[in-house]
Amino acid sequence: MTLKPINSEITTLKSLINQTRPLLSTPPPPPPTTTATTTTTTTTSTTITPYPLLRDLSTLLRAHSTNLSIALRPPNLLYPAAAKSIQEITSLIPQYLPAIHALPEIPSLRRSVIRKVEDLFTSITQFFNQTSEEGRDRLSSTGAIWSSCDALIALEAGGGTHGVIGELIKTYEALISDAAGELRAWVVEVGEDEDEGFVDDSAQEETPQEFWEKPIAAGRRRDGEVRGLVEVVLKKIRLLEILLGAVRKRRLADDGLVSERVLEEVVQRVKAVSEAVDDVGMGFYEDEVGEAVEAQKRFQEEAVKLIDLVVCKDGGVEDKYTKWFHNCREAILKEG
């Protein structure tokens, strides 16, 4: 499919995307200056609310991409209509910058939203990078634009800043659940081997690949004490999964919001918990029980620090969930 009649518009759009993309990650401009007099204060710019702006821009862009796809549907190509849609999309691209710059100064939040905008820019570019005569590739590319737009539209309805942080925490929850699943499989394998009553000499001849597929030495797999340690760790990890779910549902949603000033630290603590859980698994898998025990202590310490951040609502106000978080802290620190 030749697009020569609208090559100029396409080139302009791609060029603007290439220019705008790196600017998304640049530091936002300083806050608007104010001029004070004895009687009045004048603000030089209007405050931007980022999530409604991202919603409106993406809703418009989704509509224009739909019109563009219709205009370029074979065999009847409507080049004037396509050119108009491309021009409309081009006018929207730079308007994403003030929305990004208006986001709160929370690094993990900004990175997450920027990735969504970059995905949108990529999907627009890819729309023009396929040449299917039947239009199947173009239809798929239109769907990618819709999906990227929907992800940005959903930010406002999903709770804005606290909602984005909640989604980040959910990704770490998934990593922790994966690590727990691997340890549970390890315990099951122990149970299957314990009654054999001998150590298979062939285990000493495993290749490196076989080692990683069955990473615990045969003798250690039958060590009841180590198995007991793993079972304790699994109980603690289950508490972590419950804790992170409570942080999302009781502190990042509805009326339980915690202060924005601690949100970045909340994410960092959750990340540290996830990394320590992963280190626990690697300790057992590599037959380094001491390292696994130290990693368990670390994820417990990080979990307690996380609880300290969210135990109260914004402003340090105790509520109906405060006692629950105190009890969770005690359970995580409890021996065994």
Place 89 in a pLDDT band, splitting at 50, 70 and 90.
very high
Q: What is the CATH number of the domain that holds 137?
A: 1.20.1420.10
So what's the pLDDT on residue 3?
75
pLDDT at 200 over 50: no
Are 17 and 91 within one domain? yes
Nearest to 226 by CA among 309, 287, 161: 287
> Could you tell me if residue 29 is inside a domain?
no
Closest to 244 measured CA to CA, from 333, 165, 185: 165
- Distance separating alpha carbons of residues 105 and 266, to the nearest angstrom: 14
Backbone φ, ψ for residue 63 (5° rounding): -65, -45
Residues 235 and 299 both lie in one domain: yes
- Cβ burial 245-254 (10 Å sphere, 16+ → b, else e): ebbbebbbee
CA separation for the pair 100, 267 (Å, rounded): 20
* Residue 222 pLDDT > 80: no
The residue out of 134, 158, 182 marking a domain boundary is 158
Residue 317 lies inside a defined structural domain of this protein: yes
Q: How many domains does the chain have?
A: 2
pLDDT in tens, 133-166: 445 577 788 999 999 999 999 999 999 999 999 9
129 part of a folded domain:
yes
What are the φ/ψ torsions at residue 46 (nearest 5 degrees)? -90, 140
Domain match, 181 and 297 both: yes
Which residues constitute the domain of residue 280?
161-190+220-333
End residue of a domain, out of 135, 158, 181? 158
* Nearest residue to 241 via CA among 310, 169, 295: 169
Q: Provide Rg for the chain, Cα atoms.
A: 27
Q: Once rounded to an integer, what is the mean pLDDT over residues 169-187?
A: 90
**Phi, psi (degrees; rounded to nearest 5) at 317:** -90, 125
Q: Are residues 229 and 184 in the same domain?
A: yes
Residue 42: inside a domain, yes or no?
no
Q: What is the pLDDT of residues 237-271, one digit of tens each?
A: 999 999 999 999 999 987 788 999 999 999 999 99
Cut 0.95: pTM above it: no
95 has a pLDDT exceeding 70: yes
Determine, yes or no, domain membership for 202: no
DSSP annotation string for 190-234: HHHHGGG-S--GGGGG--HHHHHHS-S-HHHHT-HHHHHHHHHHH
Check pLDDT > 50 for residue 171: yes
pLDDT attached to residue 205? 53
Please check whether residue 269 lies inside any domain of the structure.
Answer: yes
172 plus 312 within the same structural domain: yes
- Distance, in Å, from the CA atom of 62 to the CA atom of 150, rounded to the nearest integer, reads 8
* 78: pLDDT strictly greater than 80: yes
Res. 115 pLDDT band, cuts 50 70 90: very high
Per residue in 17-70, pLDDT (tens digit) is: 999 999 999 887 776 665 544 444 444 446 889 999 999 999 999 999 999 999
204 found inside a domain: no
